[in-house]
Amino acid sequence: MIHIGQLIREELDRQGRSVGWLAKQLGRSRSVVYRFVANNSLDTEVVANILRILHRDFFKELSDDIDVEPKGIDKEC
C-alpha cells in the first residue's frame, strides 16, 4: 500500500518546496505538517487541501494502488 505521507514528501521535494512552505499554505504549524508526512493515514480533507496546493491527485494514485477484488470472501453473500 502507498504511504500517503511519503507521496506528499516526494512531491514537495520534486517541486523544490519545504514542509515549512506547505505549512504556511495550509495555515498549520510546521510540526503538524511534519506529522502529516510521517503518517500513512490522513484525513481526506487534509489530503484534498494538499492536492489543491501541490496540484497532484493523491486520491487517484491511492485508488489505482488498491486491489478492489476481495480475496477469500464469498461474493454471493
Intervals of the chain under pLDDT 70: 68, 70-77
Rg (CA), the chain: 15
Which domains are present in the chain? 4-65 (1.10.260.40)
pLDDT of residue 33: 95
pLDDT of residue 73: 62
Distance CA 15, CA 49 (A): 17
pLDDT of residue 48: 94
pLDDT of residue 70: 67
pLDDT of residue 67: 74
